[in-house]
């Protein structure tokens, strides 16, 4: 599958006419990342923004003492590092693969042209608002809910409401995405397992039947 093909399948570019898409694709680069590989570091200068085609990336910030806070786990189809499109030249966070992944890198200049199309521009801006909502929700979750709640919110946000999940991530990455550490996460899974709420084998997570129904929090969204 070539780069153009990849781009066409991205939500953000769905409504884009072929000419504009070609323009984008022309200077786009595909890059493959193996697990733990870093795409860019917080503070790096860069001219590219990215679209995740397959796999999974973790975006995080690092504190003075080395502690990392995961901002988001990215799933295929999402774009990120869009901050370089306007003004800022430095990435405000680190992006690293938490699974075998491929991304398409698009230069900020190719993107500017596309932004001229009004229709499409509005949907781009809307998607920015979507991201802002995501971030405010995360703030809310971190300050008002406990680790267990946040874990299920993570499942919901990242994979939707299912009973069986195929999760291609390591547990420590999920722990971080949930805002805790592996030990605490492990204990929580233990507790949920012995209470019969879930079984987690390899990459397959099964929730008890009717789990989501009985758990009526304000996970609505």
Partner DNA sequence: AAACATCATTGACCTTTGTCAAGCCCTGAT
Partner DNA sequence: ATCAGGGCTTGACAAAGGTCAATGATGTTT
For DNA, the binding residues (CB under 7 A) are 36, 146-148, 170-172, 179-187, 189-190, 200, 202
The distance in angstroms from the start CA to the end CA of the chain is 35
Whole-angstrom distance, CA of residue 218 vs CA of residue 221: 8
DSSP structural state of residue 167: -
- Which of 131/172 has CB closer to its own copies? 131
Contact 75, 52 (CB under 8 A): yes
In the list its own copies, DNA, none, the entry touching 135 (Cβ below 5 to 8 angstroms by class) is: its own copies
Minimum distance, C-beta of residue 117 to DNA, in the bound complex (Å): 43
In the list DNA, its own copies, none, the entry touching 172 (Cβ below 5 to 8 angstroms by class) is: DNA
In the list its own copies, DNA, none, the entry touching 185 (Cβ below 5 to 8 angstroms by class) is: DNA
In the list its own copies, DNA, none, the entry touching 138 (Cβ below 5 to 8 angstroms by class) is: its own copies
Report the greatest alpha carbon distance in the chain: 56
Contact 77, 20 (CB under 8 A): no
Minimum distance, C-beta of residue 148 to DNA, in the bound complex (Å): 7
10 Å Cβ neighbour count for 99? 19
Minimum distance, C-beta of residue 186 to DNA, in the bound complex (Å): 3
For its own copies, the binding residues (CB under 8 A) are 61, 63-65, 67-69, 71, 82-83, 86-88, 92-93, 122, 125-126, 128-129, 131-133, 135-140, 142-145, 179, 217-218
- Which of 66/210 has CB closer to DNA? 66
> Is 60 exposed, middle or buried, given 0-12, 13-18 or 19+ CB atoms closer than 10 A?
buried
- Classified as helix, coil or strand, 208 is coil
Whole-angstrom distance, CA of residue 6 vs CA of residue 8: 5
């Amino acid at each position: 599958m070539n780069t153009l093909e990849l781009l066409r399948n991205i939500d953000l570019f769905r409504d884009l006419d072929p000419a504009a898409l070609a323009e984008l694709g022309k200077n786009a680069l595909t890059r493959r990342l193996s697990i733990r590989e870093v795409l860019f570091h917080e503070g790096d200068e860069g001219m590219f923004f990215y679209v995740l085609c397959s796999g999974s990336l973790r975006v995080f910030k690092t504190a003075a003492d080395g502690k990392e806070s995961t901002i988001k786990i990215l799933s295929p189809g999402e774009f990120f590092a869009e901050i370089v499109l306007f003004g800022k030249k430095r990435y405000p966070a680190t992006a690293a693969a938490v699974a075998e992944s491929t991304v398409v890198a698009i230069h900020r200049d190719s993107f500017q042209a596309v932004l001229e199309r009004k229709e499409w521009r509005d949907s781009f801006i809307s998607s920015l608002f979507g991201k802002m909502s995501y971030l405010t929700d995360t703030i809310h979750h971190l300050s008002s809910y406990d680790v267990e709640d946040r874990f299920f919110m993570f499942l919901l946000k990242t994979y939707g409401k299912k009973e069986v999940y195929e999760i291609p991530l390591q547990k420590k990455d999920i722990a971080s995405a949930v805002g805790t550490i592996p030990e605490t996460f492990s204990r929580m899974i233990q507790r949920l397992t012995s209470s019969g709420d879930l079984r987690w084998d390899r990459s397959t997570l099964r929730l008890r039947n009717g789990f989501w129904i009985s758990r009526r929090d304000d996970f609505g969204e």
